[in-house]
A and B are shown apart, each in its own frame.
Chain A
């Protein structure tokens, strides 16, 4: 590998060992303040009762695998994307989609390496593709996208290992985020007062928290054993959950700066593709590649329920904005709304 960027006494090997030793020290520091486990603290919390959740709607419009979905802020409309040649979305393999906060546009992208914004219209005659605006350009596939607090900015994650913030109007790159060692698969914006951070997860098994303003990585967590497919903030913003191909979901606390819970069961073998919290943060819904959805008690760490229904892997899962239901999308071409 090229020697540029190296100082006198540095070699690639010495940098690597320095990184390793610092990582070890960091683990030690983190362990010092870890005085209790979550399930211990949660012992005095009342257990949840029997769980009754059913599919309330099955949406069958797609001709192929559903890859992604998002709720509109009006709590009722959904946008979803799939692997097909749709008339209005002339890009196969749309892997990411998001609803604009105003409900007037959607963003989507995938193997075309781009994220495009489409203004929504209820006029059936209008050709949506004509009004499309290409906003983001990556050098590899687009895995996730999300509008920030308004319709004017989009945050994207890509197979090229970076995340980026874009101005929708001009397509200008406002900030880029480098640090993942492999494809970035997911991201989520923090519900914080200052609204300046987001978390991303990738194929390098790391979850990283970023400062949107400076582009710097603020915190990083590396305890998963395989790709992280999905990340979602706990409603208070003080923690986030991740779902991974290692068949576990984990909870990371930002103030304690460490992993605080693992949600796993020996009988759960397939990877978790998508996770989301209920409004109070007490329940964690996770969709898996073995076609099931597992519901976890976040505090006690136990599995509350397993939901069957999909006939192929669950690829995406989101709780509605008002928390009355959650929607799951699957490779069986359908979306299901559960409540």
Chain B
């Protein structure tokens, strides 16, 4: 078939990487040597060939991926919900049972072999959806399709349903022809939302509905268009019928909703057409690469060591890692921890005061820490440095309209000759800053601010940490006691005390890894 205008960009975006991964799992499950034991399974008085039991599937998953039973059950259930396995007993409840329930594999992935029913008669739903979308556009706009859309869209001869239904052995749900199966599927979902699979509009696989889903069988754009053309030929009726149905349903919606949904649909198809790479795009990439080549890098060993140091230093300060004293409010419903660590508290906790020594940034970020640092600077007669830095922060993060006034205020107070709180900046930075003041913008004081920041960090900050002021703060700081039992137990609903530590020592209980609750949900409440 002749190509028509060249397809845009590169390959169509792989829409669902998780589907191809699931397929790989299922393929290994069906491996004659390493796969799940397949044999005839009994179902009451019937013998079913080439089936597997739920138990075997779970065992196989546990072995292959080194996971615990709950995760294997979860993964197995996902495979069933996506249609790769189907249960031969109680088919409406799509989950994997860890017992002798027989299951069979649904999908034959190599499409050159005899395909199973839904692969041959229903090509990947995404392409069908796209065809319907184009048909709708055509009907609405009477043929005014965008160029690239015209390539994938044809108005061929009517369908030959007889031809397509021949290759359709009926599945467990008893659908009779591709058309009715699709309508049956879409009845369960909103007509627009079910089909227009916006990035944010995909419904989860619905239980009890043998829903098809888009599989990327063809990655090459040329094959894609050939396929669309060939397939549209014999399900043309269906496409037009769906398009008309959707447009009619759309008319019954409120205008606001129609607009939003139309946008959503349009966005989806725009998103799934890779953007044309322009000259600008490549030039920017080249620029970015060139700059990147010129940058200095640090050895991996140095960078990675830094993580170790950082994490070990912060470990005791991490409530989810080491617990917190007196207790984690979310676990015990006791607010004391929050009260003791309020932003402006009279006596900070020991951990908090220790944290001021970790980095200058963290000292400044804590209002209590910053206040004490200001007191310290006052004893050294350099408090104007911190005030200047604060004023610059206000400028940088303030509203656009306030910029000129703030710049002026800062200049008058800190930079002008003879200013009340003059800050000591090196002459070169001062010159550059004064120049920039002619056209004030929010970043005009960045250089000066950085200079003062580094001054405080290298000079005043280390002295602060060695000062008596800081040492006294450390000594006076509070270390809360762990809450072991409730003070007034009769006033509260009796609860077993929850450990304040998120971690239990490895040696003790043989609790499974996922003690965090069964799939039914683990509320810590009762």
Contacts and interface: CB of A to CB of B under 8 A. Distances in A.
Contacts of A15: 279, 282-283, 286
Contacts of A219: 292, 295
Nearest to B304: A41
B335 to A, nearest CB: 9
B400 A50 contact: no
B514 interface: yes
A291 B514 CA distance: 14
A226 B522 CA distance: 32
A26 B290 CA distance: 8
Contact of A339 (B307, B320, B393): B320
A324 interface: yes
B514 A16 contact: no
Interface in B110-141: none
Interface in A173-223: 174, 178-179, 181-183, 191-195, 203, 213, 217-220
Interface in A303-339: 305-309, 312-313, 319, 322-326, 331, 337-339
B34 interface: no
Given A193-B360, A281-B311, A324-B330, A253 B519 contact: no
Nearest to A140: B267
B399 interface: yes
Contact of B518 (A23, A52, A298, A308): A308
A92 B260 contact: yes
Interface in A34-84: 34-38, 41-42, 45, 47-58, 67, 75-76, 83
A334 B317 CA distance: 29
A42 B514 CA distance: 24
A18 interface: yes
B516 A182 contact: no
A324 B288 contact: no
A282 interface: yes
Interface string B275-291: 11111111111101111
B513 interface: yes
Given A93-B200, A269-B18, A203 B513 contact: no
Contact of B397 (A148, A217, A260): A148
B33 interface: no
A94 to B, nearest CB: 10
B293 interface: yes
A170 B400 contact: yes
B298 interface: yes
B503 A283 contact: no
Interface residues on A, range: 35 or more
A19 interface: yes
A150 interface: yes
B264 interface: yes
B282 A282 contact: no
B308 A299 contact: yes
A16 B282 CA distance: 6
Given A282-B318, A308-B514, A50 B504 contact: yes
A144 to B, nearest CB: 13
Given A54-B524, A194-B450, A339-B502, A234 B257 contact: no
B204 A53 contact: no
Contacts of B318: 278-280, 282-283, 323
Contacts of B282: 12, 15-16, 18-19
Interface in B54-85: 61, 64-67, 70-72, 74-75, 78
A267 interface: yes
- Interface size classification for chain B: 35 or more
A149 B361 CA distance: 14
Contacts of A29: 293, 297
A8 to B, nearest CB: 14
Interface in B323-345: 324, 328-331, 337-338, 341
Interface in A1-33: 1-2, 4-6, 12, 15-16, 18-19, 22-23, 25-26, 29-30, 33
Contacts of A23: 285, 289
B83 to A, nearest CB: 15
A168 interface: yes
Nearest to A46: B312
Interface string B296-327: 01111111111110111111011111001000
Contacts of A174: 400, 442
Contact of A51 (B291, B503, B525): B503
Contact of B503 (A26, A48, A195): A48
B401 interface: yes
B311 A282 contact: yes
Contacts of B525: 56
Contacts of A192: 361
A322 B319 contact: yes
Interface in B213-235: none
A36 B270 CA distance: 43
B506 interface: yes
A220 to B, nearest CB: 6
A153 to B, nearest CB: 6
Interface string A139-161: 01100000011101100000101
B43 interface: no
12 contacts: A45-B312, A48-B321, A50-B511, A52-B502, A54-B524, A55-B521, A56-B524, A58-B523, A169-B400, A178-B284, A257-B292, A326-B320
